[in-house]
Chains A and B, each alone.
Chain A
Amino acid sequence: MLDFVQQLVSGIALGCVYGLIALGFVLVYKATEVVNFAQGDLMMLGGFFAFTFIGMLGLNYWLGFAGAVAAMALFGMLAERVVVRPILGYPQFSIIMATIGLGYFLRSVVGMIWGTDDFKIETPFSDGVLRIGSLVLAYDKLSVIAATIILCALLYLFFNRTTLGTAMRASSENMLAAYYMGIPVKRVVSIVWAISAAVATAAGVLLAPITFIHSNVGLVLGLKAFPAAVLGGFGSIPGAVVGGVLIGVIESMAGFYLPQGWKDVAPYIVLLVVLLLKPEGLFGIHTRKKV
């Protein structure tokens, strides 16, 4: 029972990271129907920015965190402007390929600049543990869960209580109609990319104490975050987080209770089964064109 709770908590913590990356996918997909395969790599780049600010320049953790988020928000806008905007409205395949290319580029450039070693970011809550009876929970895992909850609440408030959030929802419903209603769709899209890169950065920095940061971490985690987003139903924000947590818990449980080798494939098997039964994911809305 104790083992189970322990595995559950670490699974949820890992799943929250997947969920945060998946959240980035979903934000961008909802707004522009672009599937961003480089989302994991944005997370990796954010982690490296934070490492540069905190580990190399010696800034305060929170200051470095904020700096990395700001830098990545700018980078997200830049990526949108350079790579994605020219091909908005083209077939999905082109856009997927463009973002895969972007991911390749980021990975190898990061490898060239920072090297291919593992890096670790020192955090204020790296070492401590919370003891409840004989249950031992590491602070770094709890911090990931707490941060995910806070971020989701903030995003919820942003989308439902602010004008900009409403504008974003409008342009994700129907870009053309939103444009005719006077919403600056292009600016909205680039802000969406900024937010999604910022969320990815938060995931990267939170993840840094759990696994080390290296240039391929984005690919590895991005490939787990995809099933998370698809499981939740691409295009549903709560779905992304729930999907992420599910994938994290499945992976953690499979790693503990099943023989070796199941850990890596169990999430994909579950995903395939879910897709077979419910092709639009758990929370997906299957829209039909009215003729």
Chain B
Amino acid sequence: MRFLFKTDYEDDIRLFPHSGYVVSYGILLALLMIAPFVLSSYLVSQLVFVCIYATVGVGLMILTGFTGQASLGHAAFLAIGAYTAAYLQQYNVPFPVYFLAGGLLTGVVGALVGFPALRLTGIYLVIATISFAFIVEEVLARWESVTHGNEGMRVKTLSLFGQAVPQNGPTFYFLCLGVLILTIVGTLNLLRSPTGRAFVAIRDSETAARSMGVNVSLYKVKSFAISAAITGLAGVLFAHKLSFISPEMFTLQLSIEFIIVILIGGTFSLHGAVLGAIFLVMIDPFLTYLKDDLPGIIAGTFATFGADSVTAGKIYSNVAAVASANGLKGAIYGVIIVLFVLFEPLGLYGRWLKIKLFFQLFPLYKRATFKRQKIYVKSERNR
């Protein structure tokens, strides 16, 4: 094992604390680079969704995880990015231009949302962002000259420097991966900068941040704008991946899924955004697995332990009935969210940290290291 001795601030904010990080992330990157040539096209497609969701997760993480401003309206930012791309594409604007324009426009809208949000805290902010998302959804459905209303818009195949980039090909995957990596590195750098430190200070205590001379309102608006801009960039990719967008795709449900991404992944880490995105995207294949294979496996297990064929058949049909029940996904979401909040509020990344620490400190690991502390005095009402 390796001990990290931090002697000055430079040590504390280093991107790679030691060479092990370079090696492990290098291996991960190499694996991701060869992925589209090894994996099936279905899995590559899922990886693209992971990249897009993770990008949104990083954006939301900046706002919710690091600045402490809850938002249930991020589907609206995604929608603005997606629609900007679809609209500008009609006028043969090149991809890099409308990609950046989507991010910029969404960032501006995010800042505009951030200003009213300055005076709101807690539940009022949540409701305000939900309201904003509803209004955007309705505008998209009604502003037919631009968005084609409920008919939706077709998004043409992406073309980059005169080359067509089909949304199922490896190039599109590399594009999404590149955007994700750039976003993550950019966010890491942001968090090392005074701006990021101010965000975290605001999250931990607004009063303390203000008394340290942090301009709270400025940084809150900044946080909204940056978060929205990143989500808008993801929206452009999202539109291209689906090649068709319509207002009913950007509902509250989607916003909640983004929150699930950062909650399941771990609210205070960028690893969490990626892990959460992997989790969310993999639920669908997992459900298919439940429907197709699980009944056979369970019935087979019973058969090997001496159940006769009639009982095995019954078990098979019962399990199949439960596994293919309508709305099973919702139940799984529900149970998983509640279990994570109750037992692992740091999310998947928190679990990973615990495992890592267990091996680092092997015979001396104490569970109490991660014991949560209740804070009854910190009331949201007294601000």
Residues of A participating in the B interface, judged by any CB pair closer than 8 Å: 29, 33, 35, 83, 86-90, 92-98, 100-109, 111-112, 116, 175-176, 215, 223, 226-227, 230, 234-235, 261, 264-265, 268-269, 271-272, 275-276, 279-281, 287-289
B100 interface hit (Cβ, 8 Å): no
**B138 and chain A: residue at smallest CB distance:** A265
B145 interface hit (Cβ, 8 Å): no
A33 vs B127: C-alpha distance when bound (angstroms): 16
A287 vs B379: C-alpha distance when bound (angstroms): 11
Residues from chain A with Cβ under 8 Å of B383 in the complex:
288-289
A107 vs B338: C-alpha distance when bound (angstroms): 14
Residues from chain A with Cβ under 8 Å of B375 in the complex:
89-90
Residues from chain B with Cβ under 8 Å of A90 in the complex:
345, 372, 374-375
**B343 and chain A: residue at smallest CB distance:** A86
A108 touches B329 (CB 8 A): yes
Counting from the closest, the 7 A-B pairs by CB-CB distance are A105-B334, A101-B337, A108-B330, A104-B334, A108-B327, A268-B131, A89-B374
A102 vs B341: C-alpha distance when bound (angstroms): 11
Query: Given known contacts A94-B341, A235-B381, is B326 in contact with A280 (CB within 8 Å)?
Result: no
The secondary structure that dominates the B interface is: helix
Query: Given known contacts A101-B333, A104-B333, is B342 in contact with A86 (CB within 8 Å)?
Result: yes
Residues from chain A with Cβ under 8 Å of B126 in the complex:
35, 96
Residues from chain B with Cβ under 8 Å of A101 in the complex:
333-338, 341
Residues from chain A with Cβ under 8 Å of B259 in the complex:
97, 100
Contact-size category for B: 35 or more
Question: Beta-carbon contacts of B132-149 to A below 8 Å, as 1s and 0s?
Answer: 101100100110000000
A271 touches B338 (CB 8 A): no
> A104, A109, A288: which has the most chain B beta carbons within 10 Å?
A104
Question: Beta-carbon contacts of B309-335 to A below 8 Å, as 1s and 0s?
Answer: 000000000000000011111110111
Query: Given known contacts A87-B341, A89-B375, is B131 in contact with A261 (CB within 8 Å)?
Result: no
**A108 and chain B: residue at smallest CB distance:** B330
From A104, A235, A268, A288, B331 is in contact (CB under 8 Å) with: A104
**A30 and chain B: residue at smallest CB distance:** B381
A210 vs B345: C-alpha distance when bound (angstroms): 41
Residues from chain B with Cβ under 8 Å of A93 in the complex:
64, 70, 267
A175 vs B327: C-alpha distance when bound (angstroms): 39
From B124, B337, B377, A104 is in contact (CB under 8 Å) with: B337
Query: Given known contacts A103-B334, A108-B334, A111-B330, is B132 in contact with A272 (CB within 8 Å)?
Result: yes
